[in-house]
Amino acid sequence: MASSFGSRLEDSVKKTVTENPVVVYSKTWCSYSSEVKSLFKRLGVQPFVIELDELGPQGPQVQKVLERLTGQQTVPNVFIGGKHIGGCTDTVKLYRQGELEPLLSEAKAKSTES
């Protein structure tokens, strides 16, 4: 029973990261999560944010699923275009190397200025 619940949760995580150009699994009190969210904001990107600490008992379960899928147990856990990018350090590093924005364009994440 528990395993089918786990796989349902896993499916829902996979669906979320596939259907949204940018997904950030976050915690409201986490400064690294805030840093990533404001970086995306500066870049004109509206990430789909899931605050794990607001999910109640499901939060830790989602975090376990993320760890199983990505090998990363910390937040923020960032996905762009369905691909796992990593945490805050990874995201900022990509940005500094000029690799974040091409990824974002590829994922059609930027709201185009008309």
Q: What is the pLDDT of residues 49-100, one digit of tens each?
A: 999 999 999 999 999 999 999 999 999 999 999 999 999 999 999 999 999 9
CB atoms within 10 A of CB 92: 16
Let me know: does 23 contact 69? Beta carbons within 8 Å: no
| Cα 31 to Cα 65: distance, rounded to the nearest angstrom | 22
Q: What is the pLDDT of residues 9-60, one digit of tens each?
A: 999 999 999 999 999 999 999 999 999 999 999 999 999 999 999 999 999 9
Which amino acid does the sequence have at 65? V
Mean model confidence pLDDT for the chain = 92
User: pTM for this structure?
Assistant: 0.91
Which amino acid does the sequence have at 51? E
